[in-house]
Structure 1
């Protein structure tokens, strides 16, 4: 591996999820341009080279704002390479973004189509099978749903003929949709009756309130007791939801496909809206717009705690002067509670009383961590930071983070969630990165990271001291169960998932798969890796193929899986599928069992 590639790996190790994927793509574009022009991506690069690359992005027809976005990872790459001493000067720090030679068309407001309950695959019309596996657009959904007006009405949805007309779909589908009354979900102002639906039979303790399940990102729901290994053979497909397509004319990326489930209600981001539906019936409870101008501030995160729905909105249109917001809604009605204007909340985590998030004032300036009161949005404290080393997590009321010491060395530190006071520090290598921790309900407290050699280590989150260092484990930490740590292992040709003992880091089992897992959900003794994995028994590593979810996840390439109160929810792009143990409605077929 070359020095440039090592620097890229070191830079990307600080990020996770969608940010990691975006920055990896941007660096691949930079590396490809350098290779095409006979340049080393790191060594010998001058400011003129960077500006030529910026000009080439404009020549490809990208808007100025998109060029700035494409340079985020490149600027960060050189910045950290300079900090690590790999280069003597940062060639990107003074490079200016040349104006695109292509004229920019004025942006216009595009209404986003309404969404609602997705019909069962067996009831989508005569030509659904041929397009089902690949079609994701609203037009395709309308074609599938032709002839199924009664199903939409039973879902509690109402048509929105005028809104559909404004999207100028092809005449044949337009006529069919108008005649059959196919779209939409009620807004916050029209869903007052639906919001009174009873959810008393649901246990809040078994909810899945945010991405990663908890503030530590453990991906483990310890309160779930229904979907045990023995019960999964009775798991059946119940219903699905379809989020609105994101307008490709917008410069910013679409919102993440994550969903959360709390007290029998599923919340998800849908284009420029956040929606709430009752899981047991599919009835839409409310739908609230995130920002008055669609596409200007796309959503980047979602969490539900303490009766509040929190959504982070970012800004991809300005690299030097970005803006962002945190917006809180009432979880029962969708009413807007408060809005906290700040620089982008790229990632945040939420408890019942506080919200912690990272902000940034652009690539030129200092990022930091902010903690605010969840009830009012009022700032409690903030701490500037020079560098970051991993996702924002909270373990044992401590926020682990990194900074630069007086001598320029990288320092890992722990900050008290209540005050921001630094409770411990330790000098680390530039390749050091925090990964995950255990959840608030665990008896023991562990914080996991990668050390200078890339090996997984366990730390005491309250002291920063090393508990153990795994012998040869260098994979990604996917989730933290009660007694086991689940990580990627194997290699690119033979990917696998492994379980490590939380006590000493010893490998307990290894199970091979078709693809390298990128996420897991852990509950009731079962691990749900994704994509293209069946469930796995947490204790033994045995695969559980005998379930509707196993077939569906394998066929649909699930992005994320959540488990809440006997419901298993899978997201795959714009599709959200719900599985449960009760028998499905008459005539339904699990997604993975569709005819092709």
Structure 2
């Protein structure tokens, strides 16, 4: 793998606390909710304009696609078809690039930021029977690799929390597993075979399904402490965590039929179950759960699961994001409290932080403010 530096300036590993969006889902809870956005609100959203746009790198034989951007320390990080690129958030200038050694056999990675490192988790994309995974830690300021390791399972889910990067996956020839590695040096912290987890951590607790080792669920779900790998509790249920509330009090989970429920992080006690319907595309703030299905967007009370409002967009929705009291779901920007139109149409997924909207659309990274 080859590094191209776009700047000779050395930067500190101590990254700015704000603005920050260090996971694709904003945080380790995968909430897609930025509680710190105070600039782009209902008063400002109708006045935002595009500030810059860049074309992401492409490759005719690349197996990697365009990823979702993340943000920290004044830089936007995004995967493209040739590797990883970092851009200055204010101007779009290239800070650095990191190239895949073999773009034709590198899948679109999952990325996250922690302790001044950009964690890149992916693997090969051609082997169906025995795929492998790879984790790379890049210096977030320079793009220089700090450590890299191969893992014996494909990486289907990733979460970074409490100084650990936790991956999960399995294949026909690789027993299902959850593996935790230290962010600072890649050392393995713990491993649990015959478990599968999603990319969600509720302030250090992850939810995992117990399997037979080859992706067949046994009907038990366990809560695992991310720092030690110990089981906090287990319940007879087949739950997959879709998100956790910003305060980490509850998991939002789906069962094998797609029904959405809220369960307590502390003991797994179910709190409410929503009517049946697709529930994997959700966001959650301190008051509401937002879910998107086709053109339909609705808000449920986070405490009781009751519908607060529902609207139908002109176009199919995308992963919802909430910031500054607004909902971005692929159509007109909505008011989070009542679902009323608050701003113009904004197609595609977004991240919103520090008074800027960043998004990747048709191979281009753009910023509005």
Taking a change above 3 Å as real, the CA distance of residues 333 and 524 of structure 1, as seen in their structure-2 partners, is: same
Kindly indicate whether residue 93 of structure 2 is the aligned counterpart of residue 283 of structure 1.
yes
Where in structure 2 are the equivalents of 1:239-254 lying within 5 Å?
A: 239-248=52-61, 250=62, 253-254=63-64
Q: In 1, Cα distance between the equivalents of 2:260 and 2:103?
A: 42
Q: In 2, Cα distance between the equivalents of 1:499 and 1:335?
A: 43
1:521 is matched with 321
CA deviation profile, 1:134-164 (whole Å, cap 9, x unmatched) = xxxxxxxxxxxxxxxxxxxxxxxxxxxxxxx
1:506 is matched with 306
Structure 1 runs not aligned, ≥5 long: 1-110, 113-185, 581-596
Tell me how far 1:337 sits from its aligned partner. Answer: 0.3
Kindly indicate whether residue 267 of structure 2 is the aligned counterpart of residue 436 of structure 1.
no
Contact 1:312 1:346 in 2 (8 A): no
Q: In 2, Cα distance between the equivalents of 1:497 and 1:267?
A: 29
Q: In 2, Cα distance between the equivalents of 1:352 and 1:424?
A: 20
The aligned length equals 365
Contact 1:306 1:352 in 2 (8 A): no
Taking a change above 3 Å as real, the CA distance of residues 282 and 453 of structure 1, as seen in their structure-2 partners, is: closer
Q: Which has the higher contact order (CA 8 A, sep 6+)?
A: 2
Kindly indicate whether residue 3 of structure 2 is the aligned counterpart of residue 192 of structure 1.
no
Tell me how far 1:471 sits from its aligned partner. Answer: 4.7
Taking a change above 3 Å as real, the CA distance of residues 401 and 265 of structure 1, as seen in their structure-2 partners, is: same
1:216 is matched with 29
1:371 is matched with 180
Structure 2 runs not aligned, ≥5 long: none
Taking a change above 3 Å as real, the CA distance of residues 365 and 476 of structure 1, as seen in their structure-2 partners, is: closer
1:583 is matched with none
Q: In 1, Cα distance between the equivalents of 2:131 and 2:218?
A: 29
The structure number with the bigger radius of gyration is: 1
CA deviation profile, 1:289-309 (whole Å, cap 9, x unmatched) = 23x233233342111221111
Match among 168, 185, 210 for residue 403 of structure 1 = 210
CA deviation profile, 1:67-108 (whole Å, cap 9, x unmatched) = xxxxxxxxxxxxxxxxxxxxxxxxxxxxxxxxxxxxxxxxxx
Match among 255, 272, 286 for residue 482 of structure 1 = 286
> Could you say what secondary structure the match of 2:77 adopts?
strand
| Normalised TM-score (structure 2) | 0.90
1:577 is matched with 366
Q: In 2, Cα distance between the equivalents of 1:355 and 1:212?
A: 15
Q: In 2, Cα distance between the equivalents of 1:303 and 1:527?
A: 23
| Normalised TM-score (structure 1) | 0.57
CA deviation profile, 1:251-307 (whole Å, cap 9, x unmatched) = xx32342111112111111222211111112222111223x2332333421112211
Taking a change above 3 Å as real, the CA distance of residues 484 and 296 of structure 1, as seen in their structure-2 partners, is: same
Tell me how far 1:213 sits from its aligned partner. Answer: 0.9
Tell me how far 1:477 sits from its aligned partner. Answer: 4.3
Q: Which segments of structure 1 move beyond 6 Å, counting only runs of 4 or more? A: none
Taking a change above 3 Å as real, the CA distance of residues 537 and 466 of structure 1, as seen in their structure-2 partners, is: same
Taking a change above 3 Å as real, the CA distance of residues 349 and 328 of structure 1, as seen in their structure-2 partners, is: same
Taking a change above 3 Å as real, the CA distance of residues 498 and 231 of structure 1, as seen in their structure-2 partners, is: same
Contact 1:305 1:352 in 2 (8 A): no
